[in-house]
Every structure is written in structure tokens, then in C-alpha cells.
């Protein structure tokens, strides 16, 4: 690979036409306002690696919200401004977003007030970023549209496949970068550079991750578990002894690796069968913390500072997952109705996690449940029961439930048999009709 200076043609080939036109429009508009604008961060990294990434982040040397507002007006899009941080986001009608931020350091226009440093403002902005591969910018204004600004060797690190921080205090400034580093390393199959690795180990030995606020820890874990190569990430976190910052009992052993392998197989099957996309990180989260009891899960949630609905949902999913594993294990007779009774009302992510923990030999059960059992409903309904003369009451629910059970277990198959069963139940209960 060769290092490039102007990547305008790469920008055009890697981004959809619409997006590269948007970038040109932003460049022209910024220029007409006397501002410099740059495309920055992850999207630049991904363009250089020829990956798709539609997270468009713009840094402006000057008033970013002013540019965003003019741009939104031009495109008849919505804009929302964050006054304190001098940022703004433009949201198009179809939901496509462009983020605008004011470069972190003031741009010295008056030569007498500051040393003449070319691109001082954007350079400083990039210097505050996490890794060299994430600290590049593409100029959108002026004749050199597409000019790559790479002050810290990001391009070389992409070629060499290295994750490198920009300075020795990077992990001290923001220890959550330890987790981000793992995420990017596994995503791209990069190694952590030797000096960066030393700094990372040092940060771990100083327990700097304890200082990271809970919500950030939670989000970084969620992002890691959302990566295709999350298992590699967990193994890397184990190697660097970082797992304990989530929970002192958190361990990755061969048993868990086997569970993750079964989950992968199940999810492969699922995505082949069904259209909807599962939130894979949820299943992975359940398996990862499967050994925790209620008390320990509560502790984890308080470490993550998650409360309210977020906590309720996650805890509900997790406990149902645990309970399902326990219930299936103690079933003497694995009947369709029993399985349906256990899995019904669970998020699919929790069901797949439960089956992964139960093991490969339960895979057929999951397939039956997801493709057949969960769609089984009685053919008769309340109207049929009414026509039979059964007076409406709570008994309807009971009858329909029993019909569903019998149907699931293949004790009955036709509507006539359902009606017979309804009649039998009603008579057994002594209902007069
Ligand atoms: P992804 O592809 O996972 O979205 P990204 O690089 O776009 O990766 P974001 O979290 O959206 O990641 O961050 C956007 C950019 O902001 C990064 O590329 C990086 O330059 C900068 N950044 C984000 N978080 C940090 C951090 N903790 N410290 C320094 N810079 C950061």
C-alpha cells in the first residue's frame, strides 16, 4: 500500500454519491462563509481502509452551528444545536445525519497574537483523539478538496496494522480508551503497538478503568459485544486483565467459549431463516454474565449506573434467560407445550442465549420453537365458544389455553377436535350450556 495525500477519488468511491455530494456542498458553503471544514474521525479511517461508514463527522474551524444551520436551510433538513459544546447535528427527512463540531482550539487568524502554525486548530483537534487511525481529517474547503491531513501517522498505522495512541498520557486522560483500543484492534485485526501496549498495561496496573463512569463502561461493553469478533475482544481483555473492571467474577474459560460457539451457529441459522435483525450483544451479554446471581447482577447494574427502564429491561431479559435455562434443565418430558410455556414472552435474544447455554443438543428445540411452536394458536376463538352457548367468562381463557396446549402436543389437530375439547372442559367445570 502507498501513502496518499489527496483522497478525493477514494472518498467518492467509498461513499454513496449522495454523501460525497453532501460533502462537496458543505465544503462550498463553508468556503463562502470564510470557514474551513473537514471530514474527521472514524469515517476517514474507514475510507482509507475501503470500508463503508456513514457516520459523517465534520469539524469546522469557526462557528460550526452557524454552518450547520445554513446547510440545513439549504437542504430543507432539521438542525439541532448544542450551545455549550458548539456542536450541531443536521438531520435529513430520511433520518440521515451529519454531525458538526467546532474545532477544539481557537483558530489564530491574527499573526501577531499567535505563532504561525499552519492548520493549528484542526491539528489540535485531532491531537485530542484516541488513536492515530482515528485522528485523520480530509479537507472539504478550498481547491484541495480531498486533501488528507495525517499529522500522527494514521495512514502508516493502517498499513502496518497498528493501534497507537498519540501521546503517553492518553490512557490517563481517558481510560475508556483502553476498551476502545481493544475494540478497534479486534475489529480490524490490528495489533496494539509496543509502546501503546506498555501504556495500556500500566493503565491497567494503576486501575485507571475504575475511574471510568458507569454508563461509559456499559456502552463500551455493549459496543465490544456488538462486534463480530467480540470473542477475540474478550480474550484480549482477559490477556490484559481488564475483565475485572466489569465484575470481579467475570471470567472467560473454555466452557464459555463453547457457549459462544453454539450461539454463533444458532445466530447463523436465525439470520438465514428470518428477516429481523437480532441485537446480538444482548445474547452475548447474557452468556457472559450467566454465572452471576441476582445480587451480583444488581451490583453489576450499579457499577454501570443503569437505572429506570434501561435497568428493568436488561434485568428482565437476563433473569428470564437464567430462569429458562433452569426450567428446561429440570424438564422430565420435553414437550412442545412445556417449551413454549418457558420461552413465550422472552426476547428472542434471551431464548437463543438460553439454548446456547443448554448446549448443542438443544438446538433442534430452539428451531422447533422458533419456526413452529411459537406460531401455534387455537383455531377456535371466543365467538366459537359463544356460539356453542358457553357463557362468556374467565373460562374462555382457560379453554383456549388448554386447546393451545393440546394442539402443541399433537393431542388434537382439527377444529372439530378443538370444539370437542372446549365442550369437555366446560362440562367438567359444570358449566351449563
Ligand atoms: P465506530 O466505527 O465504532 O463508530 P468511530 O471512530 O466512529 O468508530 P466514535 O465513538 O463514533 O467512533 O467516535 C468518533 C471519533 O471521535 C473517533 O474516530 C475519535 O477520533 C474520536 N473519539 C471518540 N471517542 C474518543 C475518546 N474516548 N477519546 C478520544 N477520541 C475519541
Minimum-distance ligand 1 atom for the alpha carbon of 180: 27
Ligand 1 pocket residue status of 347, Cβ below 6 Å? no
Instruction: Return the residue whose CA atom lies nearest to atom 6 of ligand 1.
Output: 42
* pLDDT for residue 118 is more than 60: no
Ligand 1 pocket residue status of 352, Cβ below 6 Å? no
Minimum-distance ligand 1 atom for the alpha carbon of 42: 6
Distance from the alpha carbon of residue 404 to the mean position of ligand 1, in angstroms:
51
Average pLDDT over residues 198-204: 98
Q: Looking at residue 2, what is its pLDDT? A: 65
Distance from the alpha carbon of residue 164 to the mean position of ligand 1, in angstroms:
14
Ligand 1 pocket residue status of 87, Cβ below 6 Å? no
CATH of span 162-243? 1.10.110.30
Best CA proximity match to 317, nearest among 341, 287, 338? 287
Provide the angle, in degrees to the nearest 10, between the axes of the packed helices 280-288 and 308-329: 70
Ligand 1 pocket residue status of 99, Cβ below 6 Å? no
Average pLDDT over residues 137-159: 96
- Contacts made by residues 374-377, CB under 8 angstroms, sequence distance 24+: 374/340, 374/343, 374/344, 376/336, 376/340, 376/404, 376/407, 376/408, 377/404
Ligand 1 pocket residue status of 134, Cβ below 6 Å? yes
pLDDT tens, position by position, 51-62: 989 999 999 999
Instruction: Return the residue whose CA atom lies nearest to atom 21 of ligand 1.
Output: 129
| CATH code 3.30.460.10 region(s) in the chain | 8-160
Ligand 1 pocket residue status of 404, Cβ below 6 Å? no
| CATH code 1.10.110.30 region(s) in the chain | 162-243
Distance from the alpha carbon of residue 130 to the mean position of ligand 1, in angstroms:
7
Instruction: Return the residue whose CA atom lies nearest to atom 7 of ligand 1.
Output: 42
pLDDT tens, position by position, 387-409: 999 999 999 999 999 999 999 99
Q: How confident is the model at residue 433 (pLDDT cuts 50, 70, 90)?
A: confident
Average pLDDT over residues 38-46: 97
CA distance 274 to 371: 9
Average pLDDT over residues 103-112: 56
Distance from the alpha carbon of residue 216 to the mean position of ligand 1, in angstroms:
13
Q: What is the dihedral of CA 354, 358, 362, 367, to 10 degrees?
A: 10
Q: Is the pLDDT higher at 174 or at 433?
A: 174
Distance from the alpha carbon of residue 211 to the mean position of ligand 1, in angstroms:
19
Average pLDDT over residues 313-341: 95
Mean pLDDT over all residues of the chain? 94
Residue of 51, 133, 134 with the most ligand 1 atoms within 8 Å of its CB, for mutation: 134
Asked if the interface predicted TM-score (ipTM) of this complex is over 0.95, the answer is yes
Q: Looking at residue 120, what is its pLDDT? A: 76
Minimum-distance ligand 1 atom for the alpha carbon of 57: 14
* pLDDT for residue 106 is more than 60: no
* pLDDT for residue 116 is more than 70: no
Question: 8-160 adopts what CATH topology?
Answer: Beta Polymerase; domain 2 (3.30.460)
pLDDT tens, position by position, 358-396: 999 899 999 999 999 999 999 999 999 999 999 999 999
Amino acid at each position: 500500500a502507498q501513502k496518499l495525500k489527496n483522497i478525493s477519488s477514494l472518498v467518492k468511491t467509498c461513499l454513496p454519491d449522495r454523501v460525497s455530494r453532501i460533502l462537496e456542498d458543505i465544503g462550498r458553503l463553508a468556503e463562502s462563509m470564510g470557514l474551513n471544514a473537514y471530514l474527521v474521525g472514524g469515517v476517514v479511517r474507514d475510507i482509507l481502509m475501503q470500508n463503508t461508514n456513514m457516520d459523517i463527522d465534520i469539524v469546522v474551524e469557526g462557528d460550526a452551528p452557524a454552518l450547520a444551520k445554513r446547510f440545513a436551510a439549504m437542504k430543507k433538513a432539521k438542525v439541532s444545536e448544542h450551545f455549550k459544546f458548539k456542536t450541531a447535528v443536521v438531520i435529513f427527512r430520511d433520518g440521515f445525519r451529519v454531525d458538526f463540531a467546532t474545532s477544539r482550539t481557537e483558530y489564530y487568524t491574527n499573526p501577531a497574537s499567535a505563532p504561525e502554525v499552519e492548520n493549528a486548530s484542526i491539528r489540535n483537534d485531532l491531537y485530542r483523539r484516541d488513536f492515530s487511525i482515528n485522528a485523520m481529517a480530509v479537507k472539504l474547503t478550498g481547491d484541495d478538496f480531498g486533501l488528507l491531513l495525517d499529522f500522527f501517522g494514521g495512514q502508516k498505522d493502517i498499513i502496518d496494522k497498528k493501534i497507537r495512541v498519540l501521546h503517553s498520557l492518553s490512557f490517563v486522560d481517558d481510560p475508556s480508551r483502553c476498551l476502545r483500543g481493544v475494540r478497534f484492534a479486534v475489529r480490524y485485526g490490528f495489533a496494539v503497538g509496543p509502546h501503546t501496549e506498555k501504556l495500556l498495561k500500566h493503565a491497567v496496573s494503576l486501575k485507571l478503568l475504575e475511574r471510568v463512569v458507569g454508563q461509559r463502561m456499559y456502552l463500551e461493553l455493549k459496543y465490544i459485544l456488538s462486534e463480530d469478533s467480540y470473542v477475540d475482544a474478550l480474550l484480549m481483555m482477559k490477556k490484559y486483565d481488564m475483565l475485572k473492571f466489569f465484575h470481579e467474577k467475570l471470567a472467560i474459560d473454555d466452557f464459555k467459549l463453547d457457549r459462544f460457539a453454539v450461539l454463533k451457529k444458532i445466530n447463523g441459522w436465525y439470520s438465514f431463516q428470518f428477516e429481523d435483525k437480532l441485537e446480538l450483544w444482548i445474547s452475548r451479554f447474557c452468556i457472559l454474565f450467566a454465572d452471576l446471581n441476582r445480587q451480583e447482577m444488581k451490583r453489576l447494574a450499579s457499577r454501570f449506573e443503569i437505572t429506570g427502564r434501561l435497568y428493568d429491561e436488561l434485568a428482565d431479559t437476563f433473569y428470564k434467560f437464567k430462569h429458562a435455562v433452569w426450567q428446561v434443565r429440570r424438564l422430565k418430558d420435553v414437550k412442545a407445550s412445556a417449551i413454549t410455556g418457558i420461552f413465550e414472552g422472552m426476547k428472542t435474544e434471551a431464548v437463543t442465549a438460553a439454548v446456547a447455554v443448554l448446549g448443542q443438543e438443544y438446538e433442534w428445540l430452539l428451531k422447533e420453537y422458533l419456526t413452529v411452536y411459537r406460531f401455534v394458536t387455537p383455531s377456535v376463538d371466543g365467538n366459537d365458544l359463544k356460539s356453542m352457548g358457553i357463557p362468556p367468562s374467565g373460562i374462555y381463557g382457560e379453554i383456549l389455553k388448554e386447546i393451545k396446549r393440546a394442539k402443541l402436543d399433537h393431542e388434537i389437530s382439527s377444529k372439530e377436535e378443538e370444539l370437542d375439547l372446549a365442550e369437555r372442559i366446560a362440562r367438567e367445570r359444570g358449566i351449563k350450556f
